[in-house]
Amino acid sequence: MMQSCDPRPKAPEKVDLDLYFIPLFNNSEFSFELDSLIQNETKDTLVYSRADFLLSNFQLISNDDSIISFEDTFAFIKIKSSDTVKLPLAIPSGNYKELKFDIGLDSSYNHSDPAIWQGGHPLNPSLNNLHWGWTGGYVFAALEGYYQNNGVKTPWVYHVALDENKTLVSLQGSLELTDFKTLEIKWDSEKVFSATHTIRPALDGDFTHSSNDDGLAEKIAKNLSNSFRYGDLIPRSP
Amino acid sequence: MISSRYFLSFLSLILISSCVDPSNNKPHITTPYSLRIPQGFPQPLLPSDNQLTEESISLGRLLFYDPILSLDSSQSCSSCHNPSFGFTDNGNKYSTGVDGSIGFRNSMPLHNLAWSRDFLWDGAMPSLREQALEPIQNPTEMKESVLNVAEKLKRQPLYTQAFNAAYGDAEITPDKIGLALEQFMMIILSGGSSKFDRVQAGLESFTPEEQMGIQLFNAESNPNGSPKGADCFHCHGGTLFTSNKIVNNGLDSIFTDLGKGGVTGLNTDNGKFKVPSLRNLAYTAPYMHDGRFQTLEEVLEFYNSDVNSNSPNLAPGMSGFIQSHNGGKGLNLNLSERQAVIAFLNTLTDTQIETDTLYQNPFQ
């Protein structure tokens, strides 16, 4: 009876959060395979044909520094299909100041038996096409496309793998999670070539599978860590 | 005392495998079939609206081997997908339809389709049930109307009984034909009994040549250094030996068959074809979507030195195949290295697919 007298809707005690990834190039949305893109810093002409990620270790840091960890939440993001990640209904309603996740997996998962994952699980190799078979381990980020090399359309392939190339992404800024919301995460794909290290496929290599590459994959991983940012935080139905 | 967990499991089993026949209110009982997933295979994502049952699989097998599906009852699915040839067309480059028409693509092997998606060489069919009905209606294949097939089946007591057993009523529809064929094709597996699988299980060892072959298979292209790499694993890695992607592997610089581009209408999809599984290669010659290579030696020679670097939409993953080296471009594998790769590929031969009674012609 006492509750029914209060007309204000009650805020949920716990909420979930959808993460929606938006690929951008020079701050504009683009089409995979179709658009030729000019990299501002390097002036290279680029096309993306693939950008797939395995994400793990999601964490939310609240304004009082408490940490909400999503230890069993993995995500396979196929950027081409504008995928959404759902962080489960375990987030105490409140204000947060940071979202963290890894591009890649902890070693124990990276080298686990890939046959154990159910169909539809982000780590199922049939779903993600990111497992290197019996040689072991996953590709954490598979980035592919073409560039103009002396006027010739030439493929580039950057596959970031190996335990040491697991990469932390830290997004900082106020997040008011007092209700069910979708957080847009913008991926500035041109920063793969420029965020921290300048990478020009023709000069620095157009091909890496993370070994014997003079540190190219490590540089790409570093660039990736600085290529994501917050977009809008949008209310939605539970 | 039965724990609630086991009781719920039992209850869900009953719910999954039975439904009420509206004509007589008797529950329709079917027998769930558990796919025998070979060791090391990933878990498949099976269609939730077509759960495997022994009755539907049996029906699908009847349909697969019955020439009644074709216009003049001269051809069945198995005419072009013969288990003795890894469910391909008897070594033929192209298949011949009921009226003598010749197709323009090589018959694809049928195995491990439970892990596949985007069926046919060009990925035109999003599901196996839709794929199953396509050759029936294709004017260069079985040239029949699927509605007419349903009518013909209704006149066969064998099928009214089989549909009744599978679905709880004798109504025969194109949808049910597709679903039953989907079930049968999903259970055709290749894996677990090949030499490769036995080596993986610790039951056997590779010869030195096969060992060299697997190392080359899994090594990246390295034409200017040592050791060399055949770079196969990017498209054919994992226990399924396919990425199931649709890509251009650089066969041509001008396309006479647009592949996926013919489906989507996008220039950027021209020349793209499905990456086939390498399991059972010994059975499935000739190779490529148009059967242009008769032997694995020809296939290796192509990948070693003949990939077209100027092929539009060449898969970025093929960049290792067009690297320059002192003598030209490509992988730069010598003859013994190429033979080693072939020796390894032959360890993927699985005779079980030819002999497993589950897959055989029920009319024989």
User: How big is the CA angle at A82 (ends B121 and A63), to the nearest 5 degrees?
Assistant: 150
pLDDT of amino acid B344? 97
pLDDT of amino acid A42? 87
pLDDT of amino acid A4? 52
Confidence of residue A237 (pLDDT cuts 50, 70, 90): confident
Does residue B11 belong to any structural domain of this protein? no
Every domain of chain A and the residues it spans = 12-235
**Are B288 and B305 part of one and the same domain?**
yes
Confidence of residue B187 (pLDDT cuts 50, 70, 90): very high
- The answer to whether residues B136 and B146 touch, using CB atoms and an 8 Å cutoff, is yes
Q: How far is B238 from chain A (nearest CA, A)?
A: 4
Would you say residue A35 has pLDDT above 90?
A: no
Answer whether A155 sits within 8 Å of B220, measured CB to CB: no
- With an 8 Å Cβ cutoff, is B50 touching chain A? no
Give me the mean pLDDT over the B270-279 stretch: 97
Dig out the tokens for A152 from the structure. Answer: 């010739």
Give me the mean pLDDT over the A40-64 stretch: 94
Give me the mean pLDDT over the B200-210 stretch: 95
Give me the mean pLDDT over the B14-34 stretch: 68
Does residue B55 belong to any structural domain of this protein? yes
**C-alpha atoms less than 13 angstroms from C-alpha of B58 in its C-beta half-sphere:** 16
pLDDT tens sequence across B315-353: 999 988 998 888 788 999 999 999 999 999 999 999 988
- With an 8 Å Cβ cutoff, is B185 touching chain A? no
- With an 8 Å Cβ cutoff, is B360 touching chain A? no
pLDDT of amino acid B2? 37
pLDDT of amino acid B235? 93
Give me the mean pLDDT over the B242-267 stretch: 97
**Are B142 and B227 part of one and the same domain?**
no
- Which chain A residue lies closest to B44 (C-alpha atoms)? A119
**Are B179 and B209 part of one and the same domain?**
no
Pick the more confident residue, A149 or A9.
Answer: A149
Q: Indicate which of B43, B115, B211, B245 best probes the interface with A, i.e. most A CBs within 10 Å of its own CB.
A: B43
Confidence of residue A134 (pLDDT cuts 50, 70, 90): low
Chain length of chain A: 238
Q: How far is A96 from chain B (nearest CA, A)?
A: 36
- The answer to whether residues A39 and A105 touch, using CB atoms and an 8 Å cutoff, is no
**Are B157 and B56 part of one and the same domain?**
yes
**Are B165 and B114 part of one and the same domain?**
yes
What is the C-alpha to C-alpha distance for residues B176 and B166, in angstroms, rounded to an integer? 9
Give me the mean pLDDT over the A34-39 stretch: 87
pLDDT tens sequence across B146-163: 999 999 999 999 999 999
Reduce the DSSP state of residue B167 to 3 states and report it.
helix
Nearest to A157 among B41, B218, B319 (CB): B319
Q: pTM for the complete prediction? A: 0.88
- The answer to whether residues A223 and A204 touch, using CB atoms and an 8 Å cutoff, is no
DSSP secondary structure of chain A: -TGGG--SPPPPSEEEEEEEEEEEETTEE--TTT--EE-TTT--EEEEEEEEEEEEEEEEEETT--EEEETT--EEEEGGG--EEEEEEEEESEEEEEEEEEES--HHHHTS-GGGSPTTSTT-HHHH--B-GGG--BEEEEEEEEEEETTEEEEEEEEEESGGG-EEEEEEEEEEESS-EEEEEEEEGGGGGTSSS---HHHH-SEESSSSSTTHHHHHHHHHHTSEEEEEEEE---
What is the C-alpha to C-alpha distance for residues B263 and B269, in angstroms, rounded to an integer? 9
Dig out the tokens for B103 from the structure. Answer: 């197709």
- In the listed set B166, B189, B212, which residue is the last one of a domain according to the structure? B189
- The answer to whether residues A32 and A81 touch, using CB atoms and an 8 Å cutoff, is no
Q: How far is B116 from chain A (nearest CA, A)?
A: 8
Pick the more confident residue, A135 or B117.
Answer: B117
pLDDT of amino acid A8? 61
Q: Which of B12-21, B30-39, B135-144 has the lowest mean pLDDT?
A: B12-21
Work out how many CB contacts closer than 8 A connect A with B.
Answer: 83
- Report the amino acid identity of residue B286: P
Q: How far is B87 from chain A (nearest CA, A)?
A: 22
Does residue B9 belong to any structural domain of this protein? no
- Which chain A residue lies closest to B234 (C-alpha atoms)? A132
Does residue B361 belong to any structural domain of this protein? no
The residue among A78, A20, A19, A27 whose CA lies nearest residue A189 is: A27
Q: Which domain holds residue B282?
A: 195-346
Q: Percentage of chain A with pLDDT > 70?
A: 95
Answer whether A115 sits within 8 Å of B218, measured CB to CB: no
pLDDT tens sequence across A100-133: 999 999 999 999 888 899 988 999 998 999 987 6
Residues A57-95 as b or e (16 or more Cβ within 10 Å = b): bbbbbbeeeeebebeebbbbbbbeeebebebeeebeebe
Answer whether B115 sits within 8 Å of A34, measured CB to CB: no
**Are B271 and B132 part of one and the same domain?**
no
- With an 8 Å Cβ cutoff, is A149 touching chain B? no
User: Which CATH number do you get for residue B250?
Assistant: 1.10.760.10
Give me the mean pLDDT over the A131-157 stretch: 87
A-chain CB neighbours of B238 within 8 Å are 114, 125, 131-134
- Which chain A residue lies closest to B196 (C-alpha atoms)? A134
A-chain CB neighbours of B312 within 8 Å are 153
B-chain CB neighbours of A156 within 8 Å are 316, 319
What is the C-alpha to C-alpha distance for residues B288 and B299, in angstroms, rounded to an integer? 9
Say what the ipTM of the complex is.
0.83
Q: How far is A138 from chain B (nearest CA, A)?
A: 11
Dig out the tokens for B300 from the structure. Answer: 């290796």
Reduce the DSSP state of residue B88 to 3 states and report it.
strand
pLDDT of amino acid B10? 39
* Total domains, chain B: 2
- Report the amino acid identity of residue B265: G
pLDDT tens sequence across A169-215: 999 999 999 999 999 999 999 999 999 999 999 999 998 988 878 89
**Are B115 and B210 part of one and the same domain?**
no
pLDDT of amino acid A36? 86
Would you say residue B35 has pLDDT above 90?
A: yes
Pick the more confident residue, B53 or B220.
Answer: B53
Nearest to A129 among B243, B266, B313 (CB): B243
- With an 8 Å Cβ cutoff, is A120 touching chain B? yes
**Are B199 and B165 part of one and the same domain?**
no
- Report the amino acid identity of residue B75: Q
Q: How far is A57 from chain B (nearest CA, A)?
A: 23
Answer whether A114 sits within 8 Å of B45, measured CB to CB: no
Does residue B364 belong to any structural domain of this protein? no
Put simply, the chain B residues between 213 and 232 with a CB less than 8 A from any chain A CB are: 218, 220
The residue among B63, B66, B61, B54 whose CA lies nearest residue B165 is: B54
